[in-house]
Amino acid sequence: MRRSTTWESQDQTLQDRLEHALMAGRISRRGFIRAAAAAGLAGSSLHALADELDAIRANQTERAKTLQAAYDYIVVGTGSAGSALIGRLAAARPDASILVLEAGDWDTAPAVMDPGVWFTNLGTERDWKDVAIPSGGTNQRAIPEHMGKVVGGGSSINATIWARPFKHDLDHWAAESGDRAWGYEHGLSIFRRVENWQGKPDARYRGQGGPVWCQPAANPHPVAPAMLAACRSLSLPVLDDQNGAREEGSGGFALMNQIIRDGRRQSMARSYLYPVLSRKNVTLLVNAHVDRLTFTGNTATGVEIGSATGARRIQAKTEVMLCAGGINTPKLLMLSGIGDENQLRAHGIKTLVHAPEVGQNFQDHLLHGGCIWEPKEHIPHRNSAANAAGFVKSQVSLASPDVNLVQIELPYASDVVGKRYAPPNTSWALCAGLVAPKSRGEVRLKSANPADRPVVDARFLSHPDDVKALAYGIELAREIGNSAAMRDFVKREVAPGQKLTGQEMENFVRDGATTYFHQAGTCRMGKDSRAVVDARLRVNGINHLRIADSSVMPRIASVATMAPCVLIGERMAEILTQRS
């Protein structure tokens, strides 16, 4: 849903509150217009915007009251992949009824729409609040695994970064799946039609006119171009675009691409889902927790939704599609009897399909919170507080980068590092990220109760190469942050404050480890018999059940997972509509 320019320069926080009140039914359309006009937000588009929001809310509220017994398609989850899938499928198949189930609420809270405060959503009702259990790899620290529980999923609460996968990532997916359509060249064609790119045109790499608004960081914090100057001074490659040619090369540094439009988040729900919510064939039910899938034999027939009045079953006449993410999708499969037989038996769950890899192969990107500087002068953060980043190889022999350096205009630190070094609130950080981890974990059930969150046993940094790669990233971050080009923005290095080696460096790596919240890999796609889904995203051993989310990644893409998940959703839509 796009905003008119008459609104874009006004008080966005007030507008968000009014929109949220209208969507939630707390004020009428007339009350919305009066309140907006009284606040000086009136404009030629005011009535049109009110009409659009009112129509969406009324339409979906009415449909929620009169749910049908069966729909052609049921989609579980409205995250990046789910929104892309729903938007494309609804437009391509106007004859097919689609029920969309979202466990969270609408995405109109001010903290969602304002990208500058995205982190304030973490730990709220818009977050599933999962936590990876303590392990030796993180010096027995539990690590939060935030995940969006709101319309738009992660794209509604993340840091707004639009980063496309490396060629090496997608060609690996193609090899593992046995389907060339998962490879880089076809993926690039999808991204060209997806994007509404606002930077320098590039016929090969960038698209314009698509549903996804993305732009280079607008009016970035001055520390961001200073970081790029520092990289140049150290002979590190600096690129005109974070995406594009970087995908086929060995990395490089640039201003980030962001899904921020005129200071407001343009989530995948706003890009794909909202434009089809007024269609007769789409029903979106919010605050709908799917407890289990239903089956007749080995054929998926629908879903079971929990409620205060008891479970409700809704049938899918054609297919059920899971887009619930790297933690919730395997959980839902296991609760429904698809998983490792021994684990299911331990919880009293009858096995429908013995699928031992469900929940295995868990991967996430690690973000190290530990390299922090106090500035000479405080300048408030801009955009989503992260405007410049880069990719490098920790070893020359690697096929593609495994380390991502992210500049954060806040004193980003882990719990241990924050307590030990006590960085001033005005500080900024340059964080080393591990984006090609070799460590693997698992997601397993805590119980057979759908209300219980699963156990996330991430086993972060259990592979020694991951520790070495993060240590390399930390050393490079310190070299950049302490370079002459950064001198105007550095009063002192707060943490670690000195060169670390040996066990001291290893402990700093483990103590500073946090994550990007990019859970993936737990329902691996592959051509082998143990894979959870095949190249067409069908769950092996089950008819009429598919998965389209980060869980199907055979290996996590070495970038922020929003754009790769959009690609997965687009591929699912292609498959269902026979475009490829």
Q: How many residues are listed for the chain in this entry?
A: 580
Confirm if 261 and 74 have CB atoms less than 8 A apart. Answer: no
Catalytic residue among 221, 365, 518, 544: 518
Q: Give the number of C-alpha atoms closer than 13 A to the C-alpha of residue 477, restricted to the C-beta side.
A: 36
Confirm if 569 and 346 have CB atoms less than 8 A apart. Answer: no
Is residue 205 classed as helix, strand or coil in its secondary structure?
coil
pLDDT at site 7: 28
- Report CA-CA distances (Å) from 10 to 21, 34, 211: 18, 16, 24
**Antiparallel, parallel or unpaired: β 130-135 and 141-145:** antiparallel
How many helices, marked H, and strands, marked E, lie in the chain? 16, 26
Is residue 192 classed as helix, strand or coil in its secondary structure?
helix
The gap from C-alpha 225 to its chain's centroid, in whole angstroms, comes to 26
pLDDT at site 21: 57
Q: Report d(CA 269, CA 248) in Å as an integer.
A: 29
Confirm if 118 and 384 have CB atoms less than 8 A apart. Answer: yes
Beta strand extents in 65-207 (DSSP E only): 70-76, 98-101, 130-135, 141-145, 195-197
Q: Give the number of C-alpha atoms closer than 13 A to the C-alpha of residue 436, restricted to the C-beta side.
A: 22
365 is catalytic: no
Look up the CATH number of domain 145-172+214-266+362-515. 3.30.560.10
- Report CA-CA distances (Å) from 219 to 158, 256, 267: 20, 12, 20
Distance from first CA to last CA of the chain, Å, rounded?
Answer: 28
Burial of 255 from C-beta contacts in 10 A (0-12 / 13-18 / 19+): buried
Tokens of 464: 């020694």
Residues of the chain with CATH 3.30.560.10: 145-172+214-266+362-515
- pTM for this prediction: 0.92
- Tens place of pLDDT for every residue, the chain, 580 residues? 233 222 233 344 556 556 655 554 455 556 666 666 666 555 545 566 556 766 786 778 888 888 999 999 999 999 999 999 999 999 999 999 999 999 999 998 999 999 999 999 999 999 999 999 999 999 999 999 999 999 999 999 999 999 999 999 999 999 999 999 999 999 999 999 999 999 999 999 999 999 999 999 999 999 999 999 999 999 999 999 999 999 999 999 999 999 999 999 999 999 999 999 989 999 999 999 999 999 999 999 999 998 767 789 999 999 999 999 999 999 999 999 999 999 999 999 999 999 999 999 999 999 999 999 999 999 999 999 999 999 999 999 999 999 999 999 999 999 999 999 999 999 999 999 999 999 999 999 999 999 999 999 999 999 999 999 999 999 999 999 999 999 999 999 999 999 999 999 999 999 999 999 999 999 999 999 999 999 999 999 999 999 999 999 999 999 999 999 999 999 999 999 985 4
Q: Report d(CA 350, CA 358) in Å as an integer.
A: 15
Hunting for tokens 């320069």 — which residue is that? Answer: 9
The gap from C-alpha 335 to its chain's centroid, in whole angstroms, comes to 24
Confirm if 210 and 196 have CB atoms less than 8 A apart. Answer: yes
Cβ within 8 Å of residue 371, ≥6 positions away: 429, 430, 431, 432, 474, 477, 478, 481, 495, 496
Hunting for tokens 């966005």 — which residue is that? Answer: 12
pLDDT at site 72: 98
pLDDT at site 323: 98
Confirm if 467 and 506 have CB atoms less than 8 A apart. Answer: yes
Cβ within 8 Å of residue 516, ≥6 positions away: 364, 365, 366, 367, 433, 560
Tokens of 354: 């013995």
pLDDT at site 124: 97
Sign of the CA dihedral running 450, 453, 457, 458: positive
- Report CA-CA distances (Å) from 368 to 120, 349, 486: 20, 39, 20
Helix (H) or strand (E) holding 43: none
**Antiparallel, parallel or unpaired: β 338-339 and 545-547:** unpaired
The values of phi and psi at residue 395, to 5°, are -140, 135
The values of phi and psi at residue 56, to 5°, are -65, -50
